[in-house]
Amino acid sequence: MLFLGKKMEEHGMDVSMVDSPEVASSIWKDDFYSSSVIPHVPALSNSGRRVCGNIQCTGSWSAPWRNRKRPVFETQWGCSGRCVLELVRAALRRESGEKAVDEDVSQHQHRMPLGLLLLSQGWITHSQLQNALRIQRGQGGRIGEILIAECGVNADYVARGLSLQWNRPVLGAHGFSPRSMALVMPKVFVEQFGMLPLRVAGSRILYVGFEDRPDASVLFGLERMSELRVESGLVKTEEYHAALRSLLEDKVVETREEFCGEVDALAVRITAVLEQKQPVASRLVRMRQFYWLRLWLETRSLRGFGNLPQSSEDMMDYVFRMS
């Protein structure tokens, strides 16, 4: 939103105009794609040798046979399995303590129900709302969808209503490339959280769309994993589902999904993965009930916008679901 607001000001526009594709493409016409190599290289000592990232490490020279370039976990290299375990434990402490940004706020925050909001804007009539609520009581479902499908309400109004309700812009799916967006994150997050990566603008901002409910907590996780600024908005139902379908059909980073009972066992498991796969870079973030470990297996996989992979080659994702 911040970025969008700024861009809008530069162009002297109102944020509500962003849902027009012509306006949106003119806003982003100056943004260009460029490739960059991200330094993920752990520190070297004065003598030029790689330093163990575990601050409690005592035996950094005791394993001369160990590869000094890998495994790298979050820009740190561990001189032994024990030291890697300490690095992983510290990351897990950080992630489990990470107060998901909206967990406290939005679950308790009052939002005007969508139906009332649409009514207050004059975008639907009393009888359309009553009709939709009656249908919802009978068969369930989401009020926005019912209004569109059963009550003849224009999908644009529902999208604008959601945009007001969540204070987020309406985003179009123009410029959407399923091939590159499918690599942004494991499919399980697209499915679980309804988050749809839309495009990278100016090689530093990742736009993510939701159908009806932006999730600030997982956006925060994605922001830290991608090292891009993540901006979110609402996407019109039809457009959303069309883009979602093509994204889910495209090739993704190879993903292993595992269940894990508790954090100590998870630390051991992640360490085993790092020791086995020997990544040149890796990162761990929590996405609500999941821990997402992304591995860059070779140096050439470290090219992209922020941390986004350019191909599925030499990349690997692990998704640990906490039960």
The site for Zn ion (CB under 5 A) is made up of 52, 54, 57, 79, 83
CB of 68 to Zn ion, least distance (A): 11
Taking alpha carbons only, the member of 44, 102, 101, 34 closest to residue 68 is 44
* Residue 221 token pair: 């996780």
We find the least distance from the C-beta atom of residue 43 to Zn ion, in angstroms, to be: 13
CB 291, CB 320: distance < 8 Å: yes
Minimum separation from the CB atom of position 61 to Zn ion (A):
9
Instruction: Work out the number of other CB atoms within 10 angstroms of the CB of residue 111.
Output: 11
**Could you give the CA distance from residue 97 to residue 10 in angstroms, rounded to a whole number?**
39
Q: What is the DSSP letter of 62?
A: S
Least Å distance, CB 80 to Zn ion, is 5
Residue with tokens 């080659």: 313
Comparison of 43 and 105: residue with beta carbon closer to Zn ion: 43
Question: Which residue's CB is nearer to Zn ion, number 24 or number 84?
Answer: 84
Which is nearer to Zn ion, 80 or 192 (by Cβ)? 80
Closer residue to Zn ion in complex, CB, 57/248: 57
Dihedral-angle region of residue 121 (phi above 0 means left; psi in -120 to 50 means alpha; beta otherwise): alpha
As given in the structure block, the two tokens for residue 99 are: 């107060």
Asked whether the bond before 197 is cis by omega within 30 degrees of 0, the reply is no
Cβ distance to Zn ion smaller for residue 76 or 255: 76
Q: Give least dist CB 46 to Zn ion, A.
A: 17
- Least separation in angstroms between residue 267's CB and Zn ion is 16
Cβ-in-10-Å burial (0-12, 13-18, 19+) of 3 comes to middle
- If you search the block for the tokens 């975008």, which residue do you land on? 123
Closer of 17 and 57 to Zn ion (Cβ): 57
CB 135 within 8 A of CB 152: no
